[in-house]
Amino acid sequence: MTTPDDRTRLEIAGSGVATITLAHPPLNIYDLQMRDELIEAFAAVRDHPDVRVVVLAADGRHFSAGADLKEFGTADGVMDARSIRWERDPWTPLWELPQPTIVAFHGYALGAGLEMALLCDIRIAADDTTVGLPETTLGMLPSAGGTQSLARVIGPGPAMPVVMLGQRYDAEEAGAIGLVDQVVADADSAARDLAERIARADPAAVRAARRALRVAVDLPLADGLRRERLLAAGLRRDQNDVLDSS
C-alpha cells in the first residue's frame, strides 16, 4: 500500500505486467528514500511468480532530472559520499531482474535518470523527451553505470561525446544515435502495449532470448553461439518434459 510520502509506486496487473512508477514530481529527483524504495520494488517483481514484464514510468512532467546532489554535501567526506551512493545502489538489482524491462520516459531524463533507462532492455521516449549525462560539466563522472551501459547501448565511439561533452539531446537526436528505441507521442501507452504483447508470449522463451541477446556484446561469436545452443536445448527439454507429463 502506497502513501502520499512514497517516492515510487508498484502495480502488478493480471496480465503479468508490473509497472514501477517514479512518484516524486515535478522532477522525480533520486534521493535516498527513492533508492531504497526502488530496491524494494525490484526485489518484489524479481520474486513474484506471475510477473513477466516490468515497465518503468514516471508521474509528472519529467521522468527524472537525476540524483539529489545535496546528498554528497551532507556526507562527512568524499569516501563517505561514495559509500552512501553505492550502499543504496538500485542499479544492479534493476540490471539483474530476470524479466524483460521497458522504460517509458518523457520530459527530462538526465544523469541518473538516463542511467536508469540505459539499464533497461527497451527504451521508449515521448517526443518531448530531453536526455543527457551532464556529470562531466559538474566535474563528475556518470557513476550509476552510465559509462558502461551507454557504451553497450550505442557503442564506445558514439558514447564518447555524449559523456565527455555532457550535452543534452532531444528525442529525435537520441533516437538517431540509438539512445532510445522508439520515439512516440505517448510513451506510457506505447510501453504498456508492448509489455502486454511480450507478456502474452511464452515466458521461458522470452527470458532465454533475453539472456542470449544480453551476452552477445560481451562474448566472442563462438561462445555466444554456444550459449544460444545451450539455451535452445534447455527450452526443448522443458517442452518435452511438459509433453511427457501430459
Query: C-alpha cell of 181?
Result: 528505441
How many other C-beta atoms can be found within 10 angstroms of the C-beta atom of residue 96?
10
Catalytic: which of 11, 115, 173, 196?
115
104, 125, 178, 181, 227 from 184: Cα distances, Å: 10, 6, 15, 10, 35
Q: What is the Cα Rg of the chain in Å?
A: 19
Give the integer Cα–Cα distance in Å for 5 and 2: 8
135 given a catalytic annotation: yes
172 given a catalytic annotation: no
What are residue 125's DSSP bridge partners? 105, 183
Catalytic: which of 37, 40, 87, 135?
135
Q: Which residues touch 82 (CB under 8 Å, ≥6 apart)?
A: none
The catalytic residue positions are: 115, 135
